């Protein structure tokens, strides 16, 4: 009946042991205060129990010294808790620069995952051991939340925007993936499995499970020409749209003079709602692609744009640079 009973979750990511250490600290502090309160109440309740009906205890008004003690000590401890928690939190949501990207789209009630190499999976996620993995996530419908208890990792997956989280698996095995934000009828079946594999095994898996031999960027490139993006976003100066070469994660200047980073979210917004943040020097003439491309298509397009680095198109560097300074 109670097969594989556990009292403590698996420790399978670089963050997991750090969260657990903090958890034990919190348990320690809590046990101390809980014991203190229970001890005080119990000892007083016994020692000062009513011995005769007409007792009149001596009134005690209070003590400023005690009030200060039990205000300041808990305050200091709570600030330690805050600081420790904040440092962990900052690390949890700051992916290392060399992390590999994996794209996640949640929908009622499944997880759709795509690797940059093009491999797709549903309700399964294969990752290599010891490699930081950054998840770029969005939802097609309601809010979901990507939760892997063994990694102590959780991030809401919100429609209309990208959210990111990262982890580095430290132990091979199979781990639960849960949807942690209530999302309707089959919320509790929006679950899956994370497979942590030796890097060599992961490469084998990538090859074995490849359906088409196209990477996400290649699929994006196809979409790019199918949708006719290239007719405007040409790479020479004077085109109707800005060149997209090397633009990913770089600062761009908008019509309003504002500088924004052309990150995944910005690119997504520019595809689905093009007139909201137009790059300086261009007219707001791009039509919206909302309804024509799915969230997964948008991710492919972004993967393609990300692949357009200067190295792949060296001749365009000058053009882009001059455009940027305009």
Partner 1 sequence: MSTTVEASHHSGTGENYLTAGYGLKSWLMTTDHKRIAILYLLSISLFFVIGGLFAVLIRIELLTPAGDLVSADSYNKLFTLHGLVMIFFFLVPSIPAVFGNFLIPIMIGARDLAFPKVNLASWYVFTIGGLFTFAVVLAGGVDTGWTFYTPYSSTYSKTAVGLTAIGVFITGFSSILTGLNFVVTIHKMRAPGLTWFRLPLFIWAHYATSLIMLLGTPVVAISILLVFLERVFGIGIFDPALGGDPVLFQHLFWFYSHPAVYIMILPSMGVMSELIACFCRKRIFGYSFVAFSSLAIAVLGFLVWGHHMFTSSQSIYAGMVFSILTMMVAIPSAVKVFNWAATMYGGSISYETPMMYAFGFLGLFTIGGLTGLFLGALGLDVHVHDTYFVVAHFHYIMVGGAIMGYLGALHFWWPKMFGRLYPEAWAKLSSIVIFIGFNLTFFPQFLVGYLGMPRRYHVYPDEFQIFHVLSTAGASILAIGYAFPVVYLIWSLVRGEKAGPNPWNAKGLEWTVPSPPTTFNFDETPVVTEEAYDYSRPVEGKVV
- Residue 253 near residue 325 (C-beta atoms within 8 A): no
**Binding of partner 1 by 11 (CB under 8 A):** no
**Binding of partner 1 by 275 (CB under 8 A):** no
Considering only residues 55 to 114 of the shown chain, the ones binding partner 1 according to CB under 8 A are 55-63, 66-67, 70-71, 74-75, 78-79, 81-82, 84-93, 108
- Token pair, residue 163, equals 């959210």
Q: Tell me the closest approach of the beta carbon of residue 108 to partner 1, in angstroms.
A: 7
Among 102, 114, 133, 145, binds partner 1 (CB under 8 A): 145
Considering only residues 147 to 166 of the shown chain, the ones binding partner 1 according to CB under 8 A are 147, 149-150, 152-156, 158-161, 163
Q: Tell me the closest approach of the beta carbon of residue 177 to partner 1, in angstroms.
A: 10
Report d(CA 158, CA 181) in Å as an integer.
Answer: 10
Q: Which residue lies nearer to partner 1 by CB, 124 or 234?
A: 124
Considering only residues 168 to 227 of the shown chain, the ones binding partner 1 according to CB under 8 A are 176, 178-189
Among 11, 99, 142, 260, binds partner 1 (CB under 8 A): 142
**Binding of partner 1 by 277 (CB under 8 A):** no
What are φ and ψ of residue 302, in 5° steps? -65, -40
Sheet containing 100-107: give its strands across: 120-122, 110-114, 100-107, 132-139, 163-168
Closest CA to 247 of 231, 215, 270, 218: 270
- Alpha carbon 274 to chain centroid, angstroms: 25
Site string for partner 1, 14-33 (x = CB under 8 A): ----xx--xx--x--xx--x
User: Could you tell me the CA-to-CA distances from 254 to 3, 17, 234, 266, 289 in Å, in that order?
Assistant: 59, 44, 19, 12, 20
């Amino acid at each position: 009946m109670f097969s594989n009973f556990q009292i403590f979750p698996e420790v399978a990511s670089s963050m997991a042991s750090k969260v657990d250490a903090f958890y034990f600290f919190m348990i320690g502090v809590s046990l101390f205060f809980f014991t203190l309160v229970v001890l005080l109440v119990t000892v007083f309740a016994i020692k000062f129990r009513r011995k005769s009906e007409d007792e009149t205890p001596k009134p005690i008004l209070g003590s400023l010294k005690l009030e200060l003690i039990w205000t300041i000590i808990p305050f200091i401890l709570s600030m330690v808790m805050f600081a420790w928690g904040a440092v962990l939190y900052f690390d949890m949501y700051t992916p290392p620069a060399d992390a590999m990207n994996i794209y996640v789209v949640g929908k009622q009630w499944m997880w759709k995952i795509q690797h940059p190499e093009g491999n797709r999976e549903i309700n399964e996620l294969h990752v290599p051991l010891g490699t930081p993995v950054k998840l770029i996530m969005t939802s097609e419908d309601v809010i979901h939340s990507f939760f892997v208890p063994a990694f102590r990792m959780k991030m809401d997956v919100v429609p209309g925007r990208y959210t990111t989280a990262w982890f580095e698996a430290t132990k091979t095995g199979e781990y639960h993936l849960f949807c942690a934000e209530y999302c309707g009828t089959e919320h509790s079946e929006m679950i899956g499995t994370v497979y942590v594999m030796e890097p060599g095994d992961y490469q084998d898996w990538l090859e074995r499970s490849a359906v088409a031999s196209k990477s996400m960027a290649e699929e994006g490139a196809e979409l790019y020409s199918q949708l006719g993006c290239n007719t405007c976003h040409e790479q020479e100066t004077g085109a109707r749209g800005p060149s997209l070469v090397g633009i990913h994660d770089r600062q761009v200047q908008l019509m309003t003079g504002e500088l924004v980073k052309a990150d995944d979210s910005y690119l997504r917004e520019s595809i689905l709602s093009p007139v909201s943040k137009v790059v300086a020097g261009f007219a707001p003439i791009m039509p919206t692609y909302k309804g024509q491309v799915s969230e997964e298509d948008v991710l492919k397009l972004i993967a393609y744009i990300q692949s357009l680095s200067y190295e792949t198109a060296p001749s365009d560097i000058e053009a882009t640079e001059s455009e940027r300074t305009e």
